[in-house]
Amino acid sequence: MRKSLPLALAATAVAATAIAGVSVVTTPDKAAATLDKAAATPDKAAATPDTVRWGPCTQKAATPRLECSKLKVPLDYRDPDGRQIEIAISRLASEKPSQRRGVLLTNPGGPGGTGLTYPAILAGAGLPKKVLDSYDVIGFDPRGVGRSTPVTCDLTKEQQARGNFPPYAHTAADVAREAGNARTIAEQCATSRTAWMLPHTTTANTARDMDRIRTALGEPKLSYLGASYGSYLGAVYTTLFPGRSDRIVLDSNMGPGGYDVTAMRSFGRGMEDRFPDFAAFAAAQPEYGLGTTPEQVTAKYFELAKRLEAKPVQGIDGTAFRGLTFEYLYSDGTLPLLAKSWQALEKDRPLPPSPPLTEDMENLMSARFAVICGDSRWPETVREYQRNVAVDRLKYPMLGASTAGIGPCAFWPDKRVEPPVRIGDRGPSNVLMVQNERDPGTPLAGAEKLRRAFGKRATMVTADQGGHGVYPFGSNTCANDAVTTFLTTGQRPARDLACAAEPGK
């Protein structure tokens, strides 16, 4: 089992954390229910979906077996015969048709990240053969992303380099200063050539697109494997379409509110949860020169951050340093790279090469802003962000004064088609949640809230390991086997399961 972070999840980390050039049932309310009637009833548009014609993929994939196609879906599901947009889809077909039981739709997270090559990435990362035989594994670029109809905020190179986290704010004045940059990006998004897509580029509409994919493929039900933000996307899908959900696996789970202001602030907690793993790793290898005890390594973090804020090294300032550290905590496989990066910064030497990022950063960031700002309302006053920063700077000093800061969502246009979907316990008991105990990107605390919201619908498996992404990228056999068993047999653990650490893997 490979231990390095796959490119798809690395891109997810970047979507969440790129900083200064560092690649990092209760039923829905009435308004949403009206939309879902349009999406779910056999209206004219739904009854005559595009015929999927598979062909070779034009983008580079890990396997030549991956096939691609495009599907037209409504921009606005309240007007299913109105303006249409394109959704790019892919398929890694089962090589054992006699064992095939349906389709497994996948999403690697984001929002903003492409998922078209994700089936091939999953196969290359060790998705078990019996899973690959049981399903056609389906990938897609969500609306607004990549080879689907894309959105743009016309972000400049400088804005892209600034990334998705605000700079670390030491004072209220730092927050007020950043508000100008946040407002500018929001205005660019609202006046770009794709501004017409913004009210409709939401998680709920992406879930409705997923159901159109299911219809176009001629499948009565949809199984699903989604990680990170993809966990929330899957939760929304199985809430809107409980009767069309087959086996739903949610990996590295967001809270039931999705990617809202609470989730953004939770990165601060995730950093604190995960960092001790790195501190122990670096302390056990004194050749890095970062300290011989976890306490010394932790002190080195704050020392370097302070020094780099005063005088950047190799183009890395304090905010970039925090972002780089956070991103490399996503995988045990990148901990040595993190230690070498610290070592280089300590001695003012060039940083080691980072994993390549092949995605379009402008589109990735723009699509992310569209979804997270369009899904829910964020605080709209600078004063509230100043209060949040003051709290999180003390509570989560490693990163909290950045992730609690102000971003474009504070200035987003007020027009929203519907409120967020409320995740609840109505529907079949067919959800398996899988979660690392020390996940920097989607902390355990948020997963536990989602688990409570699902009630009897879900069972959760937690693994005593760190990092972002459990299946099939993690090394915990207990957790991986639970997912494989569920996908291939439908059997989940009888109750929530805690998988012990498996040292040496």
Residues labelled as active-site residues = 228, 439, 468
The one-letter code for the residue type at 177 is R
Hunting for tokens 């992406």 — which residue is that?
A: 206
d(CA 62, CA 210): 23
Q: SS3 of 497, please?
A: strand
Strand partners, 140: 89
User: Using the 8-state DSSP alphabet, how is residue 168 labeled?
Assistant: P
3-state secondary structure of 234: helix
Q: Could you tell me the two tokens for 160?
A: 């892209």
DSSP run (H or E) holding 425:
none
What H or E segment, with its residue span, contains residue 7? helix 7-17
Question: From residue 261, how far is each of 28, 108, 379, 404 by CA, in Å?
Answer: 20, 21, 8, 8
Whole-angstrom Cα distance, residue 372 to residue 82? 25
Q: Helix count (H) and strand count (E) of the chain?
A: 18, 10
**DSSP label at residue 86:** E
| Structure tokens belonging to residue 361 | 């950063």
257 to 113, 229, 233, 375, 439: CA distances (angstroms): 20, 11, 11, 9, 18
Angle, alpha carbons 226-438-469 (nearest 5°):
25
Structural contact between residues 245 and 237, judged by C-beta atoms closer than 8 angstroms: yes
